[in-house]
Amino acid sequence: MMTQEELELYRASVEDCSFGVYFLPLVWAEDLVDKMYQEKSINHKRKVECLIQELLAGRLALATLYTYDMLKVPLVYTQVGQCSL
């Protein structure tokens, strides 16, 4: 869930970029984890590392999904492959 201010920032970022900004909320989450560590809400560095690692894994999964979205594979590709064999 986003606040209205975050939504406005996201929309402004989308307009400014020629590439996807799908990862922007994850960057905000990483900043929030870092801020919580500095404020001592998270008391162990290892917990921060685990949280950041999970956020990066999610970011990588989104990047993979974004890449697949950019590839234009025709729906009949398997049928063309069958005919050529």
pTM above 0.85, yes or no: no
The H or E element spanning position 17 is none
Query: Over 70: is that where the pLDDT of 84 sits?
Result: no
Residue 81 scores a pLDDT above 70? no
Hey, what are 68's tokens? 């697949």
Residue, of 75 and 17, whose pLDDT is higher? 17
Given 3-state DSSP classes, what are the helix, strand and coil percentages for the chain, each rounded to the nearest 5?
A: 75, 0, 25
Q: Are 56 and 33 in contact (CB under 8 A)?
A: no
For residue 13, what pLDDT is reported? 76
CA distance 42 to 51: 10
Which pLDDT tens digit goes with each residue over 18-64?
666 777 888 889 999 999 999 999 999 999 999 999 999 998 998 88
